[in-house]
Structure 1
């Protein structure tokens, strides 16, 4: 039976002995561009990095930016420079993370050194959780500290894969997010509950729509989730985006629509669309279908749903419900206005959500990881850390079998 404490059985970094000259791999989730527009995920790891360095550990940092699947993966030298400024000590940068050059760079590190190695998303097999790649990465150190809550749901080689080869510990950034989100996990304790889903990532449908439609009272889909639901209902959606896993999301939406009971699912009567090559949005009735050359960018929330949002005791917003970054704010600002004027407690999830929506209340930069945790009271990396504590693989040199097929928890 699952413990009520999501951190039960998870080894914690703040309880680990850090010996001088010990070799650590720190698996982070910095994921910030060269403009350093949002450094929250970097700043969250500073205290642990300083503690390891001050204790004389040699710290090999692994992190990512973008994805090799869509060509957005880039080098991370800008992060190393930012870390040097914030930590007040040099942080080296080595553009590769595997192979002889990376091993030589790790071997040259001295007590207290921190070196950020190349973007793990540039490595073939990283996003597939390739255990052979994880074995190569594991040669950079003897123990693993896992931070980066935003990637805690991803069974990637530099995340869960490392834990099948080396002993691991949960970094403070991971622990803080889990403890913060723990009261929100599972079914709400009482009162009316509402969830708003948006953005473009498939976990908003595959995890979020499935969970909240079972556990909450009202679900308002937006973004790609709404497009998927409308298509499943048989409405024309023109050239509206369906995300990177349209078939899997379509099956999930169809299952939710076919299920009896559960949450009330809000379906708008009017959506706002734009024509290809244009920016001005105009309204279209859902029952009329979206023209073939148009895409949904926003929608009008029905008055009864606004009233329910305003009266909700608990509300979660996972992803911007409309394309705010392009100036389409009808649904998003309606949601925020209702929640800010209500008497309940609301939580915003996801980096894009926090960046794009003007919100000063509770928030977590974890998107898919937070959804998985709220749904399951655990996530992939916590399960791996618990199993890692029990295994003797790190003493025998063998790797444990994967807990999950790589595609199960490695969605974009």
Structure 2
């Protein structure tokens, strides 16, 4: 039996204050909290491009703009300098964007004061500080010295309470960047629980957030969840099935513990395939494919590359399609690019049919799968918003709007 939860009505929540509604005066000092977490080499600049218009609006109105962003992680040493990002901003904004490698020193603060009206400076990577991801209020207070008001962008980190977005809003009046609100608006039809509309979520890929955020959220908010990729491997492991050398992603112990808790409390119906397609890795490809029953276990040296949809799921998908439903595909269901396409093709064909309002979620999913419908490159933030109907940064912005501020 499908269990429907009470609807999470996001329409009752007051929207955060929008930057578009804020009149900008020449000379005002603004911090723009961005999400320029792009890989070195700048092959995919979509996370920068979506925020360009907000920065340009501030600059065009004469604001002095101090941009803060993160890239990489502090704990693994992948936090890099952002000089190439500043160069990219300069080219595409059509104005010089100075790169200031520091962001909390007296020199950095002096530089922010020295900006002329309309000037933009990109300050150092916020993740050079261990307190960034810990939402350290002391670090946020130092960031706050770079401006007198803050625009919060960076949808990709909106699910995280970090010093440069959540804690920063304790010290400065804040507004939501238009890019942030646009992404929320795009995702809203699929967010939260809605007992009036049947819903199905596919969770694939290898990132731990698919399990820690996606599986937890959708198992509470949606009617059916179809695990795939590392999410499926954790589910099978938890149920006592051998998964051989199948991918478990980062944080395998953390994900395993979370999966056990989620399966014991899930309101959604979780699809567990009885028939698996397995193969051996060989020099970057897969060989010796074969189909096995899940109870036989995946032998050592083999990995799960595809699976068969259970008859009950196929029947339910037909029923959902006939009655009208919504669907989220977050992660490629099978190794599609390697030629293992059974589960992916069935789910894609269904998601593309009339009566199914579907969205593909995640950069890899969008680039790998042929789909003409709505898409979003949002990662953990999108998973969090879709499953819960809200985000930590949206809550922080709403709270910020209720506080008393004396703007300079």
TM-score calculated relative to the size of structure 1: 0.86
Question: Which residue of structure 2 aligns with residue 403 of structure 1?
Answer: none
1:389 paired with 2:396, answer no
Deviation at 1:307, TM superposition (A): 5.7
| Consecutive unaligned residues in structure 2, runs of 5 or more | 1-7
Deviation at 1:308, TM superposition (A): 4.3
Question: Which residue of structure 2 aligns with residue 232 of structure 1?
Answer: 238
Q: How does 1:256-335 map to 2 (within 5 A)?
A: 256-259=262-265, 262-275=268-281, 279-281=285-287, 282-283=289-290, 285=292, 286-296=294-304, 298-302=305-309, 304=311, 305-306=313-314, 308-309=316-317, 311-312=320-321, 313-323=325-335, 329-335=341-347
Q: How does 1:9-408 map to 2 (within 5 A)?
A: 10-259=16-265, 262-275=268-281, 279-281=285-287, 282-283=289-290, 285=292, 286-296=294-304, 298-302=305-309, 304=311, 305-306=313-314, 308-309=316-317, 311-312=320-321, 313-323=325-335, 329-341=341-353, 343-392=355-404
CA distance in 1: counterparts of 2:274 and 2:110, whole angstroms:
59
CA distance in 2: counterparts of 1:164 and 1:205, whole angstroms:
31
| Consecutive unaligned residues in structure 1, runs of 5 or more | 397-412
Is the contact between residue 306 and residue 338 of structure 1 (CA under 8 Å) also seen in structure 2? Answer: no
Equivalent residue of 1:5, what SS? helix
CA distance in 2: counterparts of 1:138 and 1:294, whole angstroms:
52
Deviation at 1:204, TM superposition (A): 1.8
Change (3 A) 1:189 1:257: closer
Is the contact between residue 31 and residue 66 of structure 2 (CA under 8 Å) also seen in structure 1? Answer: yes
CA displacement 1:7-32 (0-9 Å, x = unmatched)? 61522211112121111110111222
CA displacement 1:73-120 (0-9 Å, x = unmatched)? 322222222222221111121222222342233233111011111222
Q: How many residues align?
A: 394
Is the contact between residue 195 and residue 218 of structure 1 (CA under 8 Å) also seen in structure 2? Answer: yes
Question: Which residue of structure 2 aligns with residue 410 of structure 1?
Answer: none
Question: Which residue of structure 2 aligns with residue 404 of structure 1?
Answer: none
CA distance in 1: counterparts of 2:309 and 2:213, whole angstroms:
25
Change (3 A) 1:381 1:191: closer
Change (3 A) 1:391 1:247: farther
Is the contact between residue 273 and residue 294 of structure 1 (CA under 8 Å) also seen in structure 2? Answer: yes
Q: CA RMSD in A?
A: 2.7
CA displacement 1:24-58 (0-9 Å, x = unmatched)? 11011122234433222222112211111011111
CA distance in 1: counterparts of 2:56 and 2:266, whole angstroms:
52
Report the more deviating stretch, 89-98 or 333-342: 333-342
Is the contact between residue 309 and residue 343 of structure 2 (CA under 8 Å) also seen in structure 1? Answer: no
Deviation at 1:359, TM superposition (A): 2.6
Is the contact between residue 307 and residue 338 of structure 1 (CA under 8 Å) also seen in structure 2? Answer: no
Deviation at 1:328, TM superposition (A): 5.4
CA distance in 2: counterparts of 1:65 and 1:353, whole angstroms:
22
Question: Which residue of structure 2 aligns with residue 405 of structure 1?
Answer: none
Change (3 A) 1:294 1:117: farther
